[in-house]
Amino acid sequence: MALNEEQLAAIEAQRAQCVGTRRATVPALEALLYTAVPVLDHGFVRAIDYMGDDAAVVQAARVSYGRGTRRVSEDGGLIRYLMRHRHTTPFEMCEIKFHVKLPIFVARQWIRHRSANVNEYSARYSILDREFYLPAAEHLAAQSASNRQGRGDVLQGVEAAEVLDLLRTDATRNYDHYVAMLNEGVDGAAVDPNRQGLARELARMNLTLNTYTQWYWKTDLHNLLHFLSLRADAHAQYEIRAYAEVMLAMVRAWVPMTCAAFEDYRMGAVTFSAGMLAAVRRMLAGEPVMQKDSGLSQREWAEMMAALGRAA
């Protein structure tokens, strides 16, 4: 991740600000505010604003006027109850805003989560930087033979080098053509005064999907946890998971009791269908149960057995 001197100065100026307030603040998250945490090769995540804390979740659940006299352990117990029984509204009382720099193909996957407010850097008005995502060697993998959405074995040797060279060459060439079509210098003047440049909104369509973009992404805690349950999962695509893991660490700092409950009841939990539960009950009763007489498909049976730590 490369931030220029102007960007670094702006971040330091933001971090130097300190304003008195009567609203709830969280020291652990305050310490992280505005800091750009590196992700991938040129990306980052910054938490730049938030509202609420664990106490706000509890307050909303009790519809009370203040923190009251209840012990922290009771607050933690209530949050765990809410999480365990999938009560969502109290978690919607907290919000957070991130500034994210990410490759366009990751952004297009991310935007599928339609429960946030998003404002993206506009290549209609500004010129995108010459920055592309190039995977590290350990993330150059072949298509999975068993999962249409997943990766298989890591590419090795000459094959890996050729793929990386193609990615770099294509991104560089297309960006060079993008700049040539714009015909626009740093000062906005034409590089070649004898011809007109193509409109920015048209020239951008030539860029590769590993070009970096940026956006502000604001969401409430409930929808953020849903995003993290999918994108910080081991089955998620590596590139978006890298961002989700950074954001999960920020959530731990912001709402530690809520995050602990989330990691117990969502991230570290599994869900059984009615058919799966019936099969498990038969097993616990001592009945030999096989996939063919379980009423489960082969995939569902394999998922259940994996969750139980047993061979399918």
What is the distance between the alpha carbons of residues 107 and 40, in angstroms, rounded to a whole number? 14
Would you state the structure tokens that stand for residue 273, as one six-digit string? Answer: 């269908």
- Show the tokens assigned to 88: 């969502």
Q: Which of 91, 92, 110, 90 is nearest to 100 (CA)?
A: 110
Asked whether 218 and 47 are in contact (CB, 8 A), the reply is no
- Active-site entry in 46, 200, 231, 266: 231
Q: Report the alpha-carbon distance of residue 229 to residue 236 in Å, rounded.
A: 10
List CB contacts of 24: < 8 A, sequence separation 6 or more: 52, 53, 55, 56
Q: Which position has the token pair 């604003």?
A: 49
Can you tell me whether residue 81 is helix, strand or coil? Answer: helix
Residue 77 has a CB neighbour count (10 Å cut-off) of 15
- Cβ proximity of 304 and 283 under 8 Å: no
**Catalytic residue flag (residue 231):** yes
Residues with active-site annotation: 231
